[in-house]
Amino acid sequence: MCYNLLEFPEANPQNREIILRDILDEYSPDIFMVCELQSGLGADLIVNNSLNYSEDRYRRATFVPNQSGGANLQQLLFFRKDKFILENEEVISTNVRDINHYTLKLSTADVANNPVRIEIFITHLKSSTGGSNEQQRLNMVQHFTNRLETLDPNAFVIFAGDLNLYSSTEPAYIELLDPTNAIVMIDPINTPGAWTNNVNFQGVHTQSTRISSSPFGAGSGGGLDDRFDFVLISENMNTNPLLHYIPNTYKAFGNNGNCFNLSINDSNCNGLFGETLRDNLYYMSDHLPVVMDLETNEEIVILNTNTVQNKPLFKLKNTLVTETLSIENNRPFPITVAIFNTLGQRLKEFHITTGENTQIDVSWMPAGLYFLNEISPKGGTVKFVKE
């Protein structure tokens, strides 16, 4: 997930780390890349209150104040400590804002002989229209494409952030996808065109989540009509089984494809992404996060996180089901449980009364492994298989 957090943590409303926590409950990223982070304090709020509020699973890279110009907005990487090892951190200075480069190594069974590394670059390109701003975006991007020449030509590379691009004909976008670069980069959704204020691209727009920015005192308004936020990947991630992009998983998270020039929580924007999530996205930032799924054919070894796993106080009658999930709540009060898939995505939420067997219809779910989790800081988790 890549997310412009909008002047975090100072922009209104207050306590947005709690709003972010609820968003991340809906999609639990293994890699979390952010823009517009103001301070190390803000980074710690995210780690402690948004990511690790119920279990100590995430770590962050080092927060370094912006080295490029006077702006106090910075990028940062957060990651699952049980799945990745942070090997390297680098700040690449540009004419406007830094490009932050991180090397993550995947925790695999064969890590000693066949390590899987991801070179992650996060940035926030110059904003606004006009030839001068386009040139500054190009200058920033060239720092990245020059850096590619120093990497292993077979490296897995991610370039993500708020790129402030208005169309696929912009020099910066052309430079990023130039097939003569040392490592060829691709746009996973391959959606060329003039994205801004174009209803034909409403499904990929990421800004603005708000008709008006006045209540917040920061950010932009105008409704959803720009594709500013991107996650680009090296071409080898389309084909290499060591690490590859899963087709059709790239999303503007929260965008149901029917919200052109509207606030993201407008009643006309209903769909797969529900009202509660869209309300949280509206209050969190003027941008939507971008998400995508990656897969490896290597065996993942979950590192010891030194945490005590909470024992669930509910029971499943059967953990192998076809149509119905039968749940017994042993707590002396009602509970809320949610079904998650193996990607960490919350599929549906249910309220369970005390001491009774509650029947939940799961016939609509594809076959596979799922997790039933009680939504509370001390809630436990139970696995079940849908046939």
pLDDT per residue over 299-329, tens digit each? Answer: 887 765 444 445 566 778 788 888 998 888 7
Instruction: Give mean pLDDT, residues 374-386.
Output: 73
Q: Is 227 helix (H, G, I), strand (E, B) or coil?
A: coil
Which region among 113-117, 225-229, 250-254 has the lowest average model confidence (pLDDT)?
113-117
Q: Which residue has the higher pLDDT, 330 or 222?
A: 222
Instruction: Give mean pLDDT, residues 43-63.
Output: 93
Which region among 200-204, 287-291, 317-321 has the lowest average model confidence (pLDDT)?
317-321
Q: Which of 61-75, 123-137, 373-387 has the highest mean pLDDT?
A: 123-137
Distance (Å, whole) CA 372 – CA 370: 7
Instruction: Give mean pLDDT, residues 246-268.
Output: 97
Sequence-distant (6+) residues with CB within 8 A of 368 are 341, 342, 385, 386
Does CATH number 3.60.10.10 belong to domain 2-295? yes
The predicted pLDDT at position 200 comes to 98
- In this predicted model, what pLDDT tens digit does every residue of 132-179 receive, in sequence order? 999 999 999 999 999 999 999 999 999 999 999 999 999 999 999 999
Cα 203 from chain centre: 17
The predicted pLDDT at position 309 comes to 44
CA 249 to each of CA 1, 164, 231, 293: distance values in angstroms, whole numbers, following the listed order: 11, 22, 12, 6
Q: For the chain, which residues make up each domain, given as ranges?
A: 2-295, 314-386
Instruction: Give mean pLDDT, residues 256-261.
Output: 98
Instruction: Give mean pLDDT, residues 232-256.
Output: 96
Distance (Å, whole) CA 148 – CA 235: 13
CB distance 94 to 68 below 8 Å:
yes
- In this predicted model, what pLDDT tens digit does every residue of 339-359 receive, in sequence order? 888 666 778 888 887 766 788
Q: What homologous superfamily does CATH list for 314-386?
A: Macroglobulin (MG2) domain (2.60.40.1930)
Q: For the chain, what is the mean pLDDT?
A: 91
CA 362 to each of CA 342, 352, 367: distance values in angstroms, whole numbers, following the listed order: 16, 15, 10
CA 229 to each of CA 4, 160, 203, 291: distance values in angstroms, whole numbers, following the listed order: 8, 8, 13, 10
The predicted pLDDT at position 286 comes to 98
Q: Which amino acid is at 158?
A: I
Matching fold, domains 2-295 and 314-386: no
CB distance 256 to 272 below 8 Å:
yes
The predicted pLDDT at position 342 comes to 67
Distance (Å, whole) CA 71 – CA 114: 40
Evaluate if residue 377 carries a pLDDT over 70: no
Q: How big is the CA angle at 2 (ends 342 and 153), to the nearest 5 degrees? A: 90
pTM above 0.75, yes or no: yes
CB distance 64 to 90 below 8 Å:
no
| 381 closest CA partner among 319, 323, 332 | 319
- In this predicted model, what pLDDT tens digit does every residue of 171-200 receive, in sequence order? 999 999 999 999 999 999 999 999 999 999
